[in-house]
Amino acid sequence: MSTSDDVLFDSVDLGDETLSNRVGLAPMTRTSATGDGRATAEMARYYAKFARGGFSFLVTEGIYPDEAYSQGYDDQPGIANDEHVEAWRRVTDAVHDEDAPIFAQLMHAGALSQGNRYTDERLAPSAIRPTGEQLEMYGGSGEFPEPRAATTDDIEDVIENFATAAERAVDANFDGVEVHGANGYLLDQFLTTYTNERDDEYGGNVENRIRLTAEVLEAVQAATPDEFVVGVRISQSKVNDPDYRWPGGEDDAEVIFERLTDAGADYLHVTEEDVTTPAFESGPTLTELADRYGDVPVIANGALEDPDAARATVEEGADLITLAKGALANPDWPRRVAEGRPLEKFDFQRILQPDAGIDESEVPEPADS
């Protein structure tokens, strides 16, 4: 199949960005920053490698936005001060030298924080200990501590800190930001029924539970230039609870995707362990629901390493797809697929053990054509 006949290699407009193909790098927590949250030269080489391998856009690992409650892991990068901004410029410059845009994923860990140099407290919608246990590959062990329920002032601070972090992302020469509303972190904790027992405007029905994510999006859009891309990542499953599903089914999906679109999202990045399966017991996938009820480009992520699965997901409504494991195994995945070369299989033990830090030897340079 030539690239002219392959839907994966169509050009796509995303905000003011024109992407050369439909394949991007998914955000992946790698815990390879300095102890005080600065991106490193190793990280610059890591991200540039994927741009050089043909990925048309990159989304960073989750970056904590403030010097308060948001940090989730030791050695996680931040964008909470001027030193963080300066360090990220080295990364964005390296990626831009390879002619690809890069978006900063802004992440508040909330109750799932298992490493924060600024505080020992955890912030959450309600004082409910998270299910499951901390992630050993990110340096944690045992059950999560019980968090503190956020006050109205805390919520206002969260919104303001996301917006300020987005302004710093502009200063760091990012091309956009992605608000992390997925995978069990703070914004998703507000959306999730069993972690949100609030009785104010941020709790109760799904309209209230999605409110904080929408207000963060609105604040980030207001704080950044018109040409700056502002997306949002959304999921049902979580790092500590992969089986959770929205209790209202498709009705919840309609409210969530419509509200996020109305809040100004430039794209909806839906992610599940396998995004090709039905969102609920049967029926449409999360990609199809985002396409049905949203009014912006949809990015799909999860179990799309096989090119045929990626193509089928585009055919069912995704404008773009992102790869994580497939990218780690094949930093030149788009080039390999375009040229009909075989793909390497992902080796979890080699790449993500004993921890999730970046090891230069784990990902070979993209092969020459």
Burial of 315 (0-12, 13-18, 19+ CB in 10 A): exposed
Return the structure tokens found at 291: 């396409």
Report residue 363 CA to chain centroid gap. Answer: 21
What b/e readout covers 291-313, taking b as 16+ CB neighbours within 10 angstroms?
A: bebbebbbbbbbbbbebebbbeb
Calculate what percentage of the chain has a pLDDT beyond 70: 94
Q: Which residues contact 24 (CB under 8 A, 6 or more apart)?
A: 55, 56, 57, 58, 59, 299, 320, 321, 322, 323
What are the structural domain ranges in the chain? 7-362
For residues 335 and 360, the model is more confident at 335
- CA pair distance 260, 306, nearest whole angstrom: 29
pLDDT score at 369? 39
Q: With bands split at pLDDT 50, 70 and 90, how would you rate the model's confidence at 1?
A: very low
Beta carbons within 10 angstroms of residue 336's beta carbon: 20
Average pLDDT, integer, range 311-319: 97
Place of tokens 């990045």: 269
- Any catalytic annotation for residue 185? yes
Average pLDDT, integer, range 48-68: 98
pLDDT score at 363? 42
Q: Name which of 325, 320, 315 is nearest 351 in CA terms.
A: 325
List the catalytic residue out of 64, 185, 202, 244: 185
Q: Is 256 helix (H, G, I), strand (E, B) or coil?
A: helix
Q: With bands split at pLDDT 50, 70 and 90, how would you rate the model's confidence at 177?
A: very high
Average pLDDT, integer, range 176-200: 98
What DSSP string runs through 218-238? HHHHHHS-TTSEEEEEEEEEE
The CATH H-level superfamily of 7-362 is Aldolase class I (3.20.20.70)
Q: With bands split at pLDDT 50, 70 and 90, how would you rate the model's confidence at 237?
A: very high
